[in-house]
Each structure stands twice: as structure tokens, then as C-alpha cells.
Amino acid sequence: MASDLRDVQITDCCIVGGGPAGAVLALLLARQGISVTLLETHKDFDRDFRGDALQPSVMEIMEELGLSERLLQLPHSKARQPQMHTEQGDFTFIDYSHLKTRHPYLTVLPQVHFLELIIEQAQQYPSFRLIMGANVQELLEEEGVIRGVRYRGQGGWHEIRATLTVGADGRHSRVRQLAGFEFPSRNTPPLDVLWFRLPRYRDEPDELNALVSHGQFIVLMNRNDQWQVGYVIPKGEYQKLRSQSLEVFRQSIVKAVPQFSDRIEQLQRWSQIAYLSVESGCLKRWYRAGLLLIGDAAHIMAPFGGVGVNYAIADAVVAANLLSKPLKAKQVNLRDLAKVQRRRELPTHIIQVFQSMIQQQMLIPGLDSTVPFQPPALMRLPFFPRFLARFLSFELVPVHVAPAA
């Protein structure tokens, strides 16, 4: 392979993965004058059914970066008081409207637009470099220290040597695999989610909604001219559904959401439906010499609560705050990397325990067609919707962006 190597580049930080964690970290380091190279395996950022929900905490981070107004100029929707519709009646299960913030709502914004804006901002700094279509195949290791990566891209093999390599390449992280990290255990609740989109008409409600009826649990997210639909199913049910005709699946949707009867025919192929196996887990250790994992590469998050993107971005902010000084000195040691994990580990565990509780107390009972669905008693208490909004939006110790150099 050495004879096939096209070039060797040197950077302070090599980030693998151009999702929210990797893109935001690259921007934060570049604005500190740190040389950073961001590698993304795909040719663009436009991939379906990534997390589109930005909690108020992320909007505050964007405000600290001077980007919140530009984000809100992009097509988006706001969810202030999401409703749950059940056979027993309707109720507000999250109330963002009373949060003490300039952004008291959940912002639903296609992730591709968010990433494009972050990258556009990062490209204003000469120390930032983006390489699309970079498929990382090897970690460079010398005397037990990760010194960068080798990737296949345009023209063949390339090498990037870096003081620090960051794996931000998601739940199926190639960097995590190459580094030999494994989750000590994974929480695999007995449910999965199917995602698809259907047209949304202008006169329809614009809030995020959840519907629970006759053993069906469905979430509707407003994407302006489309509904993004999350259809919760028992684990193992997907292959059974696939073995039936698509018409059977379409009719199950119409049974739960009769308003879709006039557009369900637009769901023509199984390829329009994305399957997400619900699981969660957290690495015992997020780092080794010269390497750090963040976001879903370090902690797989379940989709419930819409917090995955937000915790990944918080990881990026904390990593930039704590590692900018060592990176400028071109010497990042294990103590520096351990500080990042210590700052992020407890909030991650707390939210994962909460997600597990929601799955057990609400989602799994919602799939039982033998008895009418009853929301947990706690969720029906008057204070709970406000508490839940505060809990999902802001961690116990808020994350803030350090001033630029």
C-alpha cells in the first residue's frame, strides 16, 4: 500500500465524521486558529432520517456562535407544546413555552441544512479543511499512540498525520472498530422505529404530535411541506412486515392516522421506509493515546426525547473547550482526553436512564393492543410537561462555547 500512497498531510486535529458532532467540533477548533481536517465518507450531507430536532440548548450554542438567526432563516418548524393523542383523550406532554431562554421551543430543521451552514461558517477560517468521499480504512499507530489515519478517496490512498484524531462517525463508527473499542453492554429495548415521509398540507397542525391508538405508537414531525413519521414497532416485527404486501402496512398507518388516507398511496416502495434498530450504550472509555470518540461513536442514543444531536454537539463543545490549549501546544495527553469524558459521561448516563424509563413506561405499553393505553401517572401531573422540557433541553451543568482566540 505504501507505493499506492498519493499524499501525506499534517494537521493538528483530524476529525472523522461530518455529522453534527464532527462539524461543530471542526468549526470550534478552526475559530481558535487550530489546524483541523474534517473527513466525511459520503459525497454530500444529504441523507434521510437523521436527527432533525434541535433542543433550546443547541440554539443557545448557535447564538453564542452568532449563527442562531441564520439558522432560523432556513425552512424549519417550531414545537412549543407537543401533544399526545390517545384513546383516553389528548394532553400536552412537553411544554417548552415557559423555558427562560430566547428559544423556548424545539426547532425542527433538516439536518442537511444545519450541517451546510456549520461547514460554510468553518470554511471562513484558513485552518479548516474538508475532504468529502474520504473512506477511513486504517489508524496510524506508533508506539501505542494514534498519529492519524489512512483513507481511500479521490485518486486512491491518502494519509493524514495529526496530533489528535477524533472519531465522530456515528453509531456504526469505523474509528471505534479500528481502535478496538467495544460497548461493555447495550440496552436493546423490545422495539424499533420505521421512518418515512408523507406530504403535509398547509391547513394541518404545525406542532409535533404523538398518536397512541390500538397498539400503534406514531410520532409526526412537521418538516414544512412534509410529515416525517416515526412508526414504533415491536423488535423483530420489521421482517414480518416486509414479508407482507406494502398495502397491509399502508392500511395500518391509515388506521392510526385517518387523515393520511388521501396521500398514503405516495408510499410506493419499501425503500422509502428507513429502519432504525433502537438500542443504547456507552463505552467504558472514550479515548486512548492520540484518539478521542464523541457523539454516537462513544455513546449510542435511543431516538426518544430527540436528544441525540444535542448531546453530540455538547460533546463537541466540551472537547473544543478543553482541548484547544493542548492542541495549540501540539501535545494532547491522556489526562486531557480523560477530562472530556469526565465532563460528558454523567449527563450521558442520566439521559440514557431516562430514555430507558420512557421506553418501559410509555412506548412498550403503547404497543399493547389488548388494553387501552394509559399514560404514566407522572406524565399527567400538571408540572410534568414543564419539567420534561427543562430536563430534555438543558443539562444540570449547561454547556457554553469558550470565547474565540
The span from the CA of 349 to the CA of 185, in Å, is 13
| Calculated CA dihedral for residues 38, 401, 399, 53, nearest 10 degrees | -60
How far apart (Å, rounded) are the C-alpha atoms in residues 57 and 305? 14
- What pLDDT sits at residue 49? 59
Burial of 396 (0-12, 13-18, 19+ CB in 10 A): exposed
> Do residues 280 and 301 touch, judged by C-beta distance below 8 A?
yes
What is the CB-side half-sphere exposure of residue 76 using CA atoms within 13 A? 23
**Residue 358 confidence (pLDDT):** 87
The two counts, helices (H) then strands (E), for the chain are 11, 20
Alpha-carbon gap, residue 224 to 202, rounded angstroms: 8
Task: Supply the pLDDT for residue 304.
Answer: 86
- What's residue 3's pLDDT? 58
* Cα-Cα-Cα-Cα dihedral sign, residues 235, 240, 245, 251: negative
CB of 121 within 8 A of CB of 25?
no
One pLDDT digit (tens) per residue for the chain, 405 residues: 555 787 899 999 999 999 999 999 999 999 999 999 999 999 888 876 577 899 999 999 999 999 999 999 999 999 999 999 988 888 898 999 999 999 999 999 999 999 999 999 999 999 999 999 999 999 999 999 999 999 999 889 999 999 999 999 999 999 999 999 999 988 888 899 999 999 999 888 888 789 998 889 999 999 889 999 999 999 989 999 999 899 999 999 999 899 999 999 999 999 999 999 999 999 999 999 999 999 999 999 998 888 999 999 999 999 999 999 999 999 999 999 999 999 999 999 999 999 998 888 888 888 888 888 888 888 888 899 999 999 999 998 999 999 987
What residues have CB less than 8 Å from 68, skipping those under 6 apart? 59, 60, 62, 102, 103
Note the pLDDT of residue 1.
Answer: 53
- Which of 3.50.50.60, 3.40.50.300, 3.40.50.150, 3.30.70.600 would CATH assign to domain 2-49+111-186+281-362? 3.50.50.60
Q: Which fold has domain 75-108+190-277+367-397?
A: D-Amino Acid Oxidase; Chain A, domain 2 (3.30.9)
DSSP annotation string for 150-187: EEEETTEEEEEEEEEEEE---TT-HHHHHHT---S--B
Residue with cell 438567526: 69
pLDDT at 185: 83
Task: Give the model's pLDDT for residue 25.
Answer: 98
Can you read off the three cell numbers belonging to residue 218? 406514531
Which pLDDT value is given to residue 2? 52
What is the identity of the amino acid at 280?
A: S
Question: Hey, where are the domains in the chain?
Answer: 2-49+111-186+281-362, 75-108+190-277+367-397
